[in-house]
Amino acid sequence: MSYCCDVLFISALACQIADCLNDDELALMAADTLLLSDSLNAIAVRRSICNSSANDKSSSTTSSSDQSNKADEKS
């Protein structure tokens, strides 16, 4: 239920900001924050994919290194 606090805070913040802006400013702020949100989401997805890819490569390298070590031990 802790996520409800975030929702309530953001809604209250939006109301406070809206009270300080005229309609045109509010529309522009909404568009800009949407763009910011989309950009942050794209960055988060790219980070996740890059980290996942790096981890996959790392575990692959470790696995082949382990196999090499096991082959050396058998010799």
pLDDT digits 0-9 by tens, 7-62: 999 999 999 999 999 999 999 999 999 999 999 999 999 999 999 888 888 777 66
Half-sphere exposure of residue 45, counting CA atoms within 13 Å on the CB side? 6
Whether residue 16 lies inside any domain: the answer is: no
Does residue 64 lie in a domain region? no
pTM of the model: 0.62
pLDDT tens for 6-16 read 999 999 999 99
Instruction: Give residue 42's domain range.
Output: 22-50
Residue 17 covered by a domain: no
Q: Report yes or no on 39 lying in a domain.
A: yes
Answer with the residue of higher pLDDT: 32 or 67. Answer: 32
Confirm whether 45 is domain-assigned: yes
Give Cα 44 distance to the centre of its chain.
Answer: 3
* Number of compact structural domains in the chain: 1
Nearest to 15 by CA among 1, 2, 34, 29: 29
